[in-house]
Amino acid sequence: MAATSQKGSAKRKLSATPLLSRKRAKLDNLTTDQLPWKASSRPREVGLGDAFDGLLELEEVDNVEVVYEETDAGKVVRFNVKDEDDQQALGGIEQDQAVAGSSSAPAEEAVADPSQSEKDTPFDSTKMLPKWHRFTLHPQLRRALYAQRFTDPTPIQSETLPLAMKGKDIVGVAETGSGKTLAYGLPILHHLLAHASSHEPTSKQRRPVRALILAPTRELALQVSSHLNACLSAASLPFGTAVDNDNPQTKDVIASEKYSKVKGKGKEKEKTSAPSAPKLNGRPLVSVAAVVGGMSLQKQRRILSRGADVLVATPGRLWDIIQEDDELAGQIEHLRFLVLDEADRMIETGHFAEMDNILRLTLRQAKEDAVESEFEAEPPLVAEEEEESKEGVKAGEMQTFVFSATLSKDLQRNLKRRGRSWKAKKGGSALDDLLLKLDFRDSEPAVIDISPAGGVVATLKESRVECLTNDKDAYLYYVLLRYPGRTLVFLSSIDGIRRLLPIMELLQIPAYALHSQLEQRQRLKNLDRFKSNPRAVLLATDVAARGLDIPAVDHVIHYQVPRTADAYVHRNGRTARAMRRGFSLLMCAPDERRVVKALFGSLGRQVDEVQEMPVELYMLDKLKARVQLARQIDISQHKEKKEKHDKNWLREAAEAMEIDLDSDMESSIENEQRGAPSKQKRRSISTKVSAMKAELKGLLAQPLVARGISTRYITSGSVPIADQLLAGEYNETMVGLKRIEAGSDLIGTKKRGRRAKQEDNPTAQFDEWKGFES
């Protein structure tokens, strides 16, 4: 029997369980929160809940029967939980709770011992993963890389891995979308997998957190945990199974189907569940959990009570928890790894105080203990770098990784120079202060900076357009129709998004919003919608600028100029990820010119290096008429709503404050409610709105035809569209304009230096890295 329950933002499923007899089941009258929930695996793709309707951390519960009990108050739902004796009698069903991200697959399906599974399915990494062979990686991770088709390490991964394995603290700076998560994630997972058995607590003990990853936004934290969990899950795929990374929608299904097939051949029971992370004694060898704002308190407690080896968190929420959870605070004091992902952004989002508090907890005295034997201990795992290494992480010490696509050179230099006793200089930035508080063991943490010049990735086509502020809606609409594709539009304010969204909807553009004032569930839902429609538009504030790995974002539009150069780089980084092509457009109003100039100046560039996007003015004028009408409709609708709202609001507020409205006010409201002038006014607004909507509908139904085109005689006109049809360049949204990729028709440039060369040969700087598109 299966049922679902929902409470707060955490929606869970009760998984199919054997029907328990009333006799065996214990009627506990439990609430949903008292049930033994456990984490359920989610599709890997960006970790934001594909196919789960944008849910935040899915949980499931086994061995619970849902019954409806007749009471005086009517039918009431009760939960019957099978007690322990019953479970043994029914075959000792796995009781251990899996942690976030690990699948709920039954124990017999799980890989009990990694070395055993390696024997069962020989995996020759020299042949299968030659590019990774020189790195020390746990065999399970090699399998995971192979299964995910990550055949080549990215440059930041190549640079980071050997140093991280030697125990170095690392500051890593590399372009957006270049695989930084695994650059720090692989060394952590390697260490944890290699030491899984030695750290395994007894079944009653809570797992200590060994690695803490701090991320600035909830979405990014969830994505990182999902990325690492995917790696662990792929680690237990049988050899030869591949995860389809190019198809986010099917990735996990494919993996699970293939998994079932292979199992079937081996005369084992056919299973349909996705592979679980490697397990030991029924528990995942390594567990990764995320704790972020927007999650219910009970759920967060459950996640932490199960324990996790890797905790991914946003600083604000983590600090709230730490204050109430001494055990966790103690664990943070003894971390083995600390990661700051997008450290610079954490300061921007006002997490400084929480970050500062958390970092203080991680500070510790150097111990002179023997070097932890982690790397030398296991001969099969030792590769050349480690054998050569005389370094290592001493027992009780913590290794620190700081990653971002944008960390100033000054800061990098400071970090490199300072020793343990280094004191922050007065007048440094908040980020300087914060990073200088980090407990780097190394007097010289390794700084790996392979960020491209000017912060722009080689596969990105940047463009700009100059227009009046008032025309930006029309220009945006133009771009969306002229170059259809998945488009992320950045605005500087939430109010701006609230204004633009209904206009886009009236213009029949599938647009969604993403900003901090939306509920978490809605944020994830909108992200899912954006990901599942190749023509969707996401109107976002800079909450979406960092780290989000949404596959195949074709275009990024800076509707408003970003406040900082870093924000420009990170916003652009949502497209052209992982060596895919991307396009960005900066909309610049006359009063923004100075800001743009300064912004480019701080990137060491000039504005006119960026080519202009051509605009067909005839077409633009037609679009302006539509936009204008949509705006008017929106304003009128707003007025209509506001009229109603104001009256109700006034009365409600008076009631809440227990004050009487004066008689004039009362009678005016009553008159209006009785249908006097205001009702008439409303009616007239509503008629006007209907008329305007009908007019807009008519306009939207008309094809947009370029000047000089005859749609009646397709072979005539100054631009015969028959030729376009034959050449396969026919543009359905704007008849007469060739269908082309955004960025392929840019005009006027002043290409200079390295950037110009990169554009001529986009892969020049990535000689080592050709894996993504193959």
| Angstrom distance (rounded) from CA 388 to CA 406 | 32
Nearer to ligand ATP (CB atom), residue 157 or residue 225: 157
Among 251, 515, 577, 622, binds ligand ATP (CB under 6 A): 577
Among 43, 54, 179, 238, binds ligand ATP (CB under 6 A): 179
With CA atoms as reference, report the closest residue to 20 among 83, 106, 97, 105. 83
| 486 forms part of the interface with ligand ATP (CB under 6 A) | no
Nearer to ligand ATP (CB atom), residue 491 or residue 578: 578
Distance of CA 258 to the CA centre of its chain: 27
Cα Rg, the chain, nearest whole Å: 29
Q: Encode 37-51: b = buried (16+ Cβ within 10 Å), e = exposed.
A: bbbbbbbbbbbbbbe
Nearer to ligand ATP (CB atom), residue 133 or residue 638: 133
Q: Which 381-420 positions form the footprint of ligand ATP (CB under 6 A)?
A: 405
- Per-residue CA distances from 730 to 182, 617, 722, 738 (Å): 42, 19, 8, 6
| Cα dihedral 250/261/190/60 (nearest 10) | 70
The secondary structure of the chain in percent helix, strand, coil, rounded to multiples of 5, reads 45, 15, 40
Nearer to ligand ATP (CB atom), residue 567 or residue 709: 567
Q: Shortest Cβ distance from residue 221 to ligand ATP (Å)?
A: 12
| 225 forms part of the interface with ligand ATP (CB under 6 A) | no
* Binding segment toward ligand ATP, per CB under 6 A, in 180-188, 492-500, 642-650, 704-712: 180-188
Q: Which 283-342 positions form the footprint of ligand ATP (CB under 6 A)?
A: none
* Cβ neighbours of residue 533 closer than 8 Å, sequence gap 6 or more: 486, 510
Nearer to ligand ATP (CB atom), residue 560 or residue 575: 575
Q: Shortest Cβ distance from residue 551 to ligand ATP (Å)?
A: 7
Q: Which 145-164 positions form the footprint of ligand ATP (CB under 6 A)?
A: 150, 152-154, 157
- Per-residue CA distances from 357 to 323, 353, 422 (Å): 10, 6, 19
Q: Shortest Cβ distance from residue 471 to ligand ATP (Å)?
A: 31
One-letter amino acid identity for 757?
Answer: K
Q: Shortest Cβ distance from residue 727 to ligand ATP (Å)?
A: 35
| Angstrom distance (rounded) from CA 618 to CA 616 | 6
| Angstrom distance (rounded) from CA 748 to CA 763 | 23
* Cβ neighbours of residue 751 closer than 8 Å, sequence gap 6 or more: 609, 759
Q: Shortest Cβ distance from residue 312 to ligand ATP (Å)?
A: 13
* Binding segment toward ligand ATP, per CB under 6 A, in 5-13, 56-64, 173-181, 695-703: 173-181
Cβ(222)–Cβ(48) below 8 Å: yes
Among 176, 389, 400, 758, binds ligand ATP (CB under 6 A): 176
Among 25, 35, 58, 182, binds ligand ATP (CB under 6 A): 182
Distance of CA 135 to the CA centre of its chain: 28
| Angstrom distance (rounded) from CA 39 to CA 47 | 14
Q: Shortest Cβ distance from residue 399 to ligand ATP (Å)?
A: 19
One-letter amino acid identity for 355?
Answer: M
| Angstrom distance (rounded) from CA 252 to CA 242 | 10
Q: Shortest Cβ distance from residue 45 to ligand ATP (Å)?
A: 8
Nearer to ligand ATP (CB atom), residue 160 or residue 178: 178
| Angstrom distance (rounded) from CA 194 to CA 191 | 5
Distance of CA 115 to the CA centre of its chain: 33
What is the chain's length? 774
* Binding segment toward ligand ATP, per CB under 6 A, in 109-117, 170-178, 269-277, 560-568: 170-178
| Angstrom distance (rounded) from CA 561 to CA 558 | 6
Q: Shortest Cβ distance from residue 743 to ligand ATP (Å)?
A: 20
Nearer to ligand ATP (CB atom), residue 17 or residue 584: 584
Interaction pattern, residues 536-555, with ligand ATP; x per rule: CB under 6 A: -----------x-x------
**Alpha-helix runs per DSSP H in 178-291:** 180-194, 196-199, 218-235, 251-265
Q: Shortest Cβ distance from residue 640 to ligand ATP (Å)?
A: 42
Nearer to ligand ATP (CB atom), residue 153 or residue 208: 153
Nearer to ligand ATP (CB atom), residue 43 or residue 717: 43
Q: Shortest Cβ distance from residue 581 to ligand ATP (Å)?
A: 15
Q: How many residues bind ligand ATP (CB under 6 A)?
A: 20
Residue 359 tokens read as 């970092």
| Angstrom distance (rounded) from CA 590 to CA 580 | 32
* Binding segment toward ligand ATP, per CB under 6 A, in 177-185, 355-363, 554-562, 617-625: 177-185
* Binding segment toward ligand ATP, per CB under 6 A, in 11-19, 571-579, 635-643, 731-739: 571-579
Q: Shortest Cβ distance from residue 181 to ligand ATP (Å)?
A: 3
Sheet holding 399-404, edge to edge: 288-291, 310-313, 211-214, 337-341, 399-404, 170-174, 446-450
Nearer to ligand ATP (CB atom), residue 211 or residue 630: 211
DSSP, collapsed to helix, strand or coil, labels residue 29 as: coil
Among 381, 578, 630, 734, binds ligand ATP (CB under 6 A): 578
* Binding segment toward ligand ATP, per CB under 6 A, in 59-67, 106-114, 570-578, 585-593: 570-578
- What kind and span of H or E run contains 760? helix 753-760
| 181 forms part of the interface with ligand ATP (CB under 6 A) | yes
Q: Shortest Cβ distance from residue 675 to ligand ATP (Å)?
A: 57
| Angstrom distance (rounded) from CA 365 to CA 367 | 6
For residue 512, what are the β-bridge partners?
Answer: 538
* Binding segment toward ligand ATP, per CB under 6 A, in 171-179, 253-261, 359-367, 429-437: 171-179
Number of neighbours of residue 350 by Cβ within 10 angstroms: 12
Nearer to ligand ATP (CB atom), residue 132 or residue 559: 132
Nearer to ligand ATP (CB atom), residue 17 or residue 575: 575
Among 49, 573, 582, 743, binds ligand ATP (CB under 6 A): 573
Nearer to ligand ATP (CB atom), residue 227 or residue 472: 227
Q: Which 646-665 positions form the footprint of ligand ATP (CB under 6 A)?
A: none
Tell me, what DSSP letter sits at residue 712? S
For residue 450, what are the β-bridge partners?
Answer: 174
| 485 forms part of the interface with ligand ATP (CB under 6 A) | no
- Per-residue CA distances from 539 to 466, 490, 530 (Å): 20, 6, 10
Q: Shortest Cβ distance from residue 273 to ligand ATP (Å)?
A: 22
| 177 forms part of the interface with ligand ATP (CB under 6 A) | yes
With CA atoms as reference, report the closest residue to 556 among 642, 643, 647, 483. 483
| 8 forms part of the interface with ligand ATP (CB under 6 A) | no
For residue 514, what are the β-bridge partners?
Answer: 540
Nearer to ligand ATP (CB atom), residue 155 or residue 315: 155
| 178 forms part of the interface with ligand ATP (CB under 6 A) | yes
Which residue ranges make up the site for ligand ATP (CB under 6 A)?
Answer: 150, 152-154, 157, 176-182, 405, 547, 549, 573, 577-578, 771-772
